[in-house]
Amino acid sequence: MKRSYLLLLGILSLSIVAFVYVQNSEKSIKHTVDVREGSGSFYDLVARLQSGTQVQAFQEEEGWTFIRFGEAEGWVPTSALQAATGGQATGGGTDDVRSRFDDIFSQEFGGGDSKEEEQVYASPAQVAAAVKGFARRYTTRRGQTMVDLTDNFDRSINAREYRRFRQERISNRDLRSLDRAYPIRTDTIPDLYADLDETGWAVANVLAQDGLYQDRELQVYLTYIALMVAQASHRHEVPVQIQILDDEEILGYAIPGGIIFISKGALRAMRNEAEFANFIGHEIAHIVLQHGMIEMEERRPRIQASQGFEALDQALADTGFEGDEYTELQEELSDWADQVFEYLIQGRLEAYEFEADFWGMVYAARAGYAPTAAITYLQRMLETQGDFTALEDRGGLEWSGTSIRARIATLQQVQGRYGFTGGQTRDAEFQRMIARLR
pLDDT at 18: 37
Into which CATH architecture does domain 2-93 fall? Roll (2.30)
pLDDT at 48: 87
The CA radius of gyration of the chain, in Å to the nearest whole number, is 23
| Residue 269, amino acid | A
Answer yes or no: are the C-beta atoms of 149 and 205 closer than 8 Å.
yes
**What are the backbone angles phi and psi of residue 64, rounded to the nearest 5°?**
-120, 150
In the chain, which stretches have pLDDT less than 50?
1-22, 87-117, 301-312, 314-322, 390-399
User: Rounded to a whole number, what is the distance in angstroms from the first to the last CA of the chain?
Assistant: 68
pLDDT at 324: 53
pLDDT at 213: 94
The strand pairing partners of 242, in sequence order, are 260
| Residue 398, amino acid | E
C-alpha–C-alpha distance, residues 306 and 304, integer Å: 6
C-alpha–C-alpha distance, residues 302 and 219, integer Å: 34
Closest among 152, 295, 304 to 216, alpha carbons compared:
152
C-alpha–C-alpha distance, residues 122 and 50, integer Å: 8
CA-to-CA dists, residue 216 to 45, 132, 210, 243, 437, angstroms:
21, 21, 19, 10, 12
Answer yes or no: are the C-beta atoms of 389 and 400 closer than 8 Å.
yes
**What are the backbone angles phi and psi of residue 399, rounded to the nearest 5°?**
-150, 155
Q: 125: part of which helix (H) or strand (E)?
A: helix 124-141
Q: Where in the chain is the domain with CATH 2.30.30.40?
A: 2-93
> Is the pTM value of this prediction over 0.75?
yes
CA-to-CA dists, residue 193 to 59, 200, 275, angstroms:
23, 11, 29
Residue 254: Cβ within 10 Å count: 26
Residues near 250 by Cβ (< 8 Å), separated by ≥ 6? Answer: 263, 265, 266, 269, 381, 385
Residue 70: Cβ within 10 Å count: 14
